[in-house]
Structure 1
Amino acid sequence: MNIIDIVLLLVGFVLLVKGADIFVEGASDLATKLKVPAMIIGLTVVAFGTSAPEASVSITSALTNSNAIAISNILGSNVFNLLLVIGATALIYKINIQEVSIKQDFPILLVSGILLLLFIITGHVISRFEGILFLILIIAYVTYLIMKAKKESKNMPVGTTHLSNIRIILYIILGLAFIIFGGDLVVDASRNIALGLGMSETLVGLTIVSIGTSLPELITSVTAAYNKQTEIALGNAIGSCLFNILFIVGLTTSITPIITTNIMVIDTIIMLIVIVITYLLAYDRDFDKKDGIIMLTLFIIYMIYIIIRN
C-alpha cells in the first residue's frame, strides 16, 4: 500500500458522492416535471441514482474477477442503508410510514433477499439465468410503480423546478460519468490497500467500499429529513436495497457469473435478519428516535463483528 492508493481512494469517493449528488438533482427535477409523487421518486429516481456508485463498483469488480468485493459491497451497502441511513434519519425527524410500505415495499425487499440467498447456496454460483431473472423482476417492479404513479398523479399540479431541460440532461450525464470513473478508482485503490494491509477483499467490500458507495444514500436521506421530506428518505433507503439486489446483482451476474462462498451465505443471512428487524420496527407505522438509536447500535455491533471476523 502507498499514499497514491489512499489519494486515489479518496478522489474516487469524492467523485462518487458528487456524481450521485448531481445525478439525483437532475433526475429529481425530471421526475418533478413528470409529476411523480415523492415516495415514488424515493423508490425509483433517487434510490437508483444514489445506488449508481454500488452498481459501478460491483460491475467493475466482477469484470476484474473481484467477486468478493462485488457481492460484499451489495450486502454491506444494504445493511448500511437499513440500519445507518434510516437510523440517522429517524434521529433527525420522525419518519411516518405509509401502509403501502408495510404491505408492499418491505415484503418485496424481503422476498428479494430470500431469492438472493437461495441463488447463493444452490450451485455455489449466481448464474446468468438467475441474474436475468433479477433484471426481469426489477423491470416489472419499476413498471408497476410508474403505472401506479401515473394513476395517482392525474390530478396533481406540476411541481416547481429550478433546472432547464438542457441542464437536467447535462446533470444526469455528468453525474453518471463521475460515478463510473469514481467507481473504477475505488475498486482499484481498495484492492491495492487490501493486499498491502493483508486484509481480505470481503472485509474491504463490507466496510470501506460499502460505506463509501452508500454515502450518497446517507447524504440524500439526511438532507430529506432536514427538509421534512421523510417519504423520499425512506423510499431512498428501501429502493436502494431493492436496486442493489435486483438490478446490480442481476446485471453483474448477467455479464459474468459469480462464484459464491460460505462467507457470502453468512453475510446474506445477516442482511436478511436486518431486513426483518427493520420490517418489525416499521409495524408501529413510524421510525422515531428510539428506533433510530436501536438501528445505530445494531450497526455498530455489526461493524465490530465484521472487523473481528476478518
Structure 2
Amino acid sequence: MSYILLLIGFVLLIKGADTFVSGASSIAVALKVPTLIIGLTIVAFGTSAPEAAVSVTAALNGQNEMAIANVVGSNIFNLLGVLGVAAIINPIRVQKSTIIKEFPFAILASLILMVLAHDTKFQGYNLNALTRADGLVLLALFAIFMYYLIEMAITSKEEMNVEKADESMPMSKAVIFSVLGILGILIGGNMVVDSASDIAISWGMSQNLVGLTIVSIGTSLPEFVTSVIAARKGESDIAIGNVVGSNIFNILFVLGISSFIHDISIQPIVFVDMFAMVVLSIVTYIFATTKKSISKPEGFLLALMYVVYMAFIIIRK
C-alpha cells in the first residue's frame, strides 16, 4: 500500500506544481508584481509548508534532531538537487537584485543560524541549542525580510511588461489554479513523505537517517517539482526565487517558530551539515553570479555534489 500511496503522491506533486506555477505567474502579471517577488513569497512559503509542518510538529514532540535536520537537509537539497536539476532542464537566469540582495541574505541567514546554535563556542555554555531567545532573533530577521519584499513589490510594479498581461489567465481563474495547485503540492508531499518513511523504516533505516534523507528530501519535493516545472516553462524568476525564498523561510521562520515553541538541542555532528549548508550556499551563489545564470554544466555539477553529499551522510550514519 505504501508504494501505491507513493505513486499517487508523486502524481499530485507534479500536477499540483504545474497548476500552481501557472496560477502564481498569472497573479504576478495581473497585480503587476514581478514574478521574482511571487517566487520569493507565495511560491516559496507555500512550497515550504511541509518543512514548517514537520519541524513544528517535531518541536512540539521534543524531537529536536528531526526539527533541525529537516531544515538543514532541505536547504542543501534545494541548493543542489532543486537548482541543479532545474538548470539541467533549462539554464536559470538570475536577476541582479537576487545576486546583490536575496541570495546574500540567504547566506547570511545560514551563518547567523550557525552562530546562534553554537553556544559552547560563542557563549561559553555547556550545551548547544536554539533557545526561545534565538527563535525571537530569527523571527525578527524574518520580519525584516518580509518588509523588504513588500517594499520591493510596491516600488517595482512599473517594471512589469504590460504586453504580457494579455497572455495571463483571469485573476479568479489564477487564484483557483494557485489554491488547487498548492493543495495538490501539500497533499502529495505529505503522502510521499509518509509512504517513503514507512518504506525506508521497513528496510531497516534508522529514524535519524530517515530525517536527514527521506524526510528532508520529501518535504523539499514541492520546491523541486515547482522549480523544475517553472524552469521548463522558462519562468527562471520563480525557479530561483522559490529556492532562495524557501531557504530563508526555512531558517528564519520554520526554525524561529520551532525554537520559540521548544528549545532545540544541537548535537555536535549537526554542525558539519550546517557548515556544508553555508559552503554550498556560497558555491551556488558563485555559480549564479557567473554570467548571471546557472548553466547546464553547473547544474550537473550541483546535482553531482548532492549525490556525493548523500553518500557521505549514509556512510557517516
- TM-score of the alignment, normalized to the shorter chain, above 0.5: yes
Kindly tell me the number of residue pairs found equivalent between the two proteins: 306
Once the 2 structures are TM-superposed, how far is the Cα of residue 61 of structure 1 from its aligned partner? 2.0
Contact 1:95 1:230 (8 Å CA) reproduced = yes
| Residue in structure 2 matching 1:77, options 74, 78, 81 | 74
Once the 2 structures are TM-superposed, how far is the Cα of residue 154 of structure 1 from its aligned partner? 3.5
Classify 1:28/1:51 alpha carbon distance in 2 versus 1 (closer, same or farther; 3 Å).
Answer: farther
| Residue in structure 2 matching 1:101, options 98, 114, 125 | 98
Contact 1:67 1:259 (8 Å CA) reproduced = yes
Q: Which residue number corresponds to residue 128 of structure 2?
A: 124
Taking the aligned partners of 1:207 and 1:49, their CA distance within structure 2 comes to 21
Q: Residue 133 of structure 2 aligns to which amino acid in structure 1?
A: F
Taking the aligned partners of 2:63 and 2:8, their CA distance within structure 1 comes to 21
Q: Percent identity?
A: 43
Q: Residue 313 of structure 2 aligns to which amino acid in structure 1?
A: I
Contact 1:31 1:45 (8 Å CA) reproduced = no
Q: Residue 217 of structure 2 aligns to which amino acid in structure 1?
A: I
Classify 1:100/1:184 alpha carbon distance in 2 versus 1 (closer, same or farther; 3 Å).
Answer: closer
| Residue in structure 2 matching 1:112, options 101, 109, 112 | 109
Taking the aligned partners of 1:163 and 1:60, their CA distance within structure 2 comes to 37
| Residue in structure 1 matching 2:260, options 254, 265, 276 | 254
Q: Residue 132 of structure 1 aligns to which amino acid in structure 2?
A: L
Q: Secondary structure at the match of 2:33?
A: coil
Contact 1:23 1:49 (8 Å CA) reproduced = no
Q: Is structure 2 residue 287 aligned with structure 1 residue 281?
A: yes
Consecutive unaligned residues in structure 2, runs of 5 or more: 120-126
Taking the aligned partners of 2:54 and 2:8, their CA distance within structure 1 comes to 14
Normalised by the length of structure 2, the TM-score is: 0.83
| Residue in structure 2 matching 1:37, options 22, 34, 38 | 34
Q: Residue 45 of structure 2 aligns to which amino acid in structure 1?
A: F
Taking the aligned partners of 1:155 and 1:305, their CA distance within structure 2 comes to 45
Once the 2 structures are TM-superposed, how far is the Cα of residue 28 of structure 1 from its aligned partner? 4.8
Classify 1:236/1:173 alpha carbon distance in 2 versus 1 (closer, same or farther; 3 Å).
Answer: closer
Give 1:207-286 correspondences, 5 Å limit. 207-284=213-290, 285-286=292-293
Taking the aligned partners of 2:215 and 2:279, their CA distance within structure 1 comes to 21
Q: Residue 154 of structure 2 aligns to which amino acid in structure 1?
A: K
Taking the aligned partners of 1:187 and 1:64, their CA distance within structure 2 comes to 18
Consecutive unaligned residues in structure 1, runs of 5 or more: none
Normalised by the length of structure 1, the TM-score is: 0.85
Taking the aligned partners of 2:304 and 2:159, their CA distance within structure 1 comes to 43
Once the 2 structures are TM-superposed, how far is the Cα of residue 23 of structure 1 from its aligned partner? 5.9
Taking the aligned partners of 1:130 and 1:161, their CA distance within structure 2 comes to 43
Cα deviations by residue, 1:94-147 (Å, 9 ceiling, x for unpaired): 222222222212211111001111122214111112112212211211221121
Classify 1:76/1:145 alpha carbon distance in 2 versus 1 (closer, same or farther; 3 Å).
Answer: same
Classify 1:120/1:202 alpha carbon distance in 2 versus 1 (closer, same or farther; 3 Å).
Answer: farther
Q: Which residue number corresponds to residue 149 of structure 1?
A: 153
